[in-house]
Amino acid sequence: MMSERKELDKHFMRLAIQEAEKAFRSDEVPVGAVLVRQNQVIGRAHNQVKLLKDPTAHAEMIAMTQGCEAVGSEHLRGVTVYVTLEPCPMCVGAMILARIDRLVFGAREKKTGACGSKLHLLAETRWNHRFPIEEGLLEFESAALLQEFFKKQRQEKSR
């Protein structure tokens, strides 16, 4: 049972990485997110901050909007969020408000990560909702895409 769940987790994280690759091709920070309920994808997105000229257009936020539409509620009970990069405070806050069941992320984000890297929002016990976090799933693949993106950005700036 446990290995079956781990295989499903890897499958859904690979879908999130595919979303991150779309962001990379669109010159967006390559982060992808997938929302899953009862082993069905109910939301999938990549960062679209530049495209939409919207600082809130993170992969997680867009995918959660899709997920809420899919379930017909502002709450995402029974949902696991898979994201390639540790979510920021805004995204973790939205996950708390949406009452997700679980978060699985790939790479840590030292500058803005809100699951332990910069701060840990869920360490605060006074929230009305908390959820388990699993980190490091397909971390290398997620981090490699980000490293390649920022290397490319630096090279273009130096020209």
Q: Is 28 left (phi over 0), alpha (psi -120 to 50) or beta?
A: beta
HSE of 106 in the Cβ direction (CA atoms, 13 Å)?
Answer: 27
User: Residue 24 forms beta bridges with which residues?
Assistant: none
The answer to whether residue 60 is catalytic is yes
Pick the catalytic residue from 28, 60, 86, 109: 60
Catalytic residues: 60
